[in-house]
Chains A and B, each alone.
Chain A
Amino acid sequence: MLSRESSATLMSAITAFLYREARLQDEHQYEAWEKLWTDDGVYWVPANGADIDPERQMSIIYDNRSRIALRVRQLMTGKHFTQTPQSNLRRLISNIELMDEQPDNGDIAVASNSLIFESSLRDDTLWAARNEYRLRHVDGELRMASKKVILVNNDKAIYTLSFLV
């Protein structure tokens, strides 16, 4: 167990990290967002529930690190029409919890809830999700080793999800 002080310090660093990630996503700062990932990062948005096997079943997003880079590069072209013009976005991050401070592999397990308001050419859309992270200290900075976004309605037909969720 961490001491109460160091636990509070860690929680405060994690909260700042998650808020920063949210702002970079909302403001389409793709490259800055990409830098938040570790070299082995995995970005996963499952479909049809929270606990499917992504190696066997279809996910909405199941990106390894090189595919995260490809996703960012596509957004950077300015010709990814679903994000040209870009969606206007604001998201609320809440219910941040430290799920496991010192797991065996050294990564920190963190969870949060998010509520995202998207305004796009199609319409205004509300998205809600549970986010599960594994964060890691790399060169003194927090990085994402994995991010799993469990959309509340991921078992239903959903509209195009082309912003960074």
Chain B
Amino acid sequence: MNMMTGVPPWERLIRPDRVHGSLYTDPEIFEAELKNIWYRTWVYVGHESEVPNANDYVVKSIGPQSVIMTRDEQGKVNLLLNRCSHRGNQVCSFERGNARSFTCPFHSWTFANDGRLVGYAFPDGYEGQDKAQLALGRVTRVESYRGFVFGSFAAEGPTLKEHLGGAAETIDRLVRTSPEGEVEISAGFLKHRVKANWKFILENECDGYHPAFVHTSIFGVADSMIGKLYGGASTALTRDYGNGHTEIDLRPEFRKRDAPMSWFGTSEERLPDYTARMKTAYGDSAAREIMIDGTPHVMIFPNLFIAEIQMFVIQPLGVDDSVQHVTALQFKGAPDLNRRLRQQTMGSVGPAGFLLADDSEMYERCHRGVLARNPEWIFLGRGEKRQRQDELGFTVGHVTDEVPSRGIWTHYRKLMEPA
């Protein structure tokens, strides 16, 4: 650490093909990340479908901070900080509900669900006080993209659309899986805690090198077709969209199969209702393309992971304490598909999931591993010599290459370095 400023020399810690182990374990770096990443850039908070009706609310987070996502009476989505403007008590203690206002239990200050202070007990003691100065804190900027609500604590900076950049197209692809063009987040979240730094999770989401090994136990017994997608002969790609967003693009493999719904290990025949609705909505030809390509596998920096059939939200609580919030993706107008998505998700992910229990074991072992001081580096050079640009100018590599990690660290360094 640079003793004068408390800021480490990032160019020494982050190199093109390697990063320093202390980036995952140094508590001062974690504090700097909260400031420069979590409390500045666009962070995914929640989905509009979680607050469908006026006065609905759901408690979410940005890093360790509790955020209440409300839909006020005008239908606007607000991101309010769960902290009474009087003495700091949490004003909301329930995970979800429907409420026009939140009353702090400490001294009975009451806030409307758009954040306004509407009253306090024994108001004669506050003679001349302007209530407008005592509203709930709020996330400075709130924007949503196709129902996905993001917040940024920075008053100025890139718009959400600019932040998403090329990765916005993956969300477009995702919502087209619904015959009505909308994702719904309605199945509740599993909350899986790991004793590991959040960046081990972030980097693993588009690491196509590990599945053949970490998930060998389930691929071996479950007749899974996933294993082949991540083999040496796979034509699937890793992609760096810039701004820290990364993808594993499985479409080349699914297009080779040329079978609608094969991406989900099923077929049109098994989902007749869904297939009919998709053809009505998009026409036979476009529906067929959508149903061959499947949903994306994309990590929106820093915390939204769309994993084909489920959605993860990464929450850092401490340098070695993280939570993965995960739920099945649900597509509006697709009840038969949704049921299978829930069943598959419950088997695969969460604390007892066939896949995620092993991924999470790796996160925790990596965290303990990097506490050893030699070698000091995490080596991320896989595929550096064979990566190339795709037709849109994004860097792509073999599905097992470390294009995503290198992309994430390039963006990370930009955010962490003083402007």
Which of these, B192, B217, B342, B351, contacts A81 with CB under 8 Å?
A: B217
B188–A79 CB distance below 8 A = no
Q: Which residues of chain B come closer than 8 Å to A57, judged between CB atoms?
A: 187-188
CA distance A30 to B1 in the complex (A): 50
B354–A70 CB distance below 8 A = yes
State whether A123 and B195 are in contact (beta carbons under 8 Å apart), knowing that A58-B187, A70-B222 are contacts in the complex.
Answer: yes
A74–B351 CB distance below 8 A = no
A160–B361 CB distance below 8 A = yes
CA distance A82 to B362 in the complex (A): 8
Please tell me if B191 contacts chain A, counting CB pairs below 8 Å: yes
A121 to chain B: closest CB distance in Å?
A: 7
Q: Which residues of chain B come closer than 8 Å to A8, judged between CB atoms?
A: none
Contact with B along A138-164 (1 / 0, CB 8 A): 000000000000000001111111100
Please tell me if B177 contacts chain A, counting CB pairs below 8 Å: no
Quick one: which of B172-230 are within 8 Å of A by CB? 187-195, 214, 216-218, 220-222
Contact with A along B342-376 (1 / 0, CB 8 A): 11011100111010111011101100100000000
A79–B365 CB distance below 8 A = no
A81–B361 CB distance below 8 A = yes
CA distance A81 to B365 in the complex (A): 10
A81–B194 CB distance below 8 A = no
State whether A58 and B189 are in contact (beta carbons under 8 Å apart), knowing that A73-B221, A159-B194, A161-B351 are contacts in the complex.
Answer: yes
State whether A79 and B217 are in contact (beta carbons under 8 Å apart), knowing that A47-B188, A57-B187, A60-B351 are contacts in the complex.
Answer: yes
Please tell me if A48 contacts chain B, counting CB pairs below 8 Å: yes
Q: What residues make up the interface of A, taking CB atoms closer than 8 Å to B?
A: 45, 47-48, 52, 55-63, 67, 70-71, 73-74, 77-82, 121-123, 155-162, 165
Beyond known contacts A45-B352, A121-B364: 20 more, CB 8 A cutoff? A47-B190, A48-B95, A57-B187, A58-B188, A58-B189, A70-B221, A74-B217, A74-B218, A77-B216, A77-B220, A80-B357, A81-B362, A121-B368, A123-B195, A157-B192, A157-B193, A159-B194, A159-B195, A160-B352, A160-B357
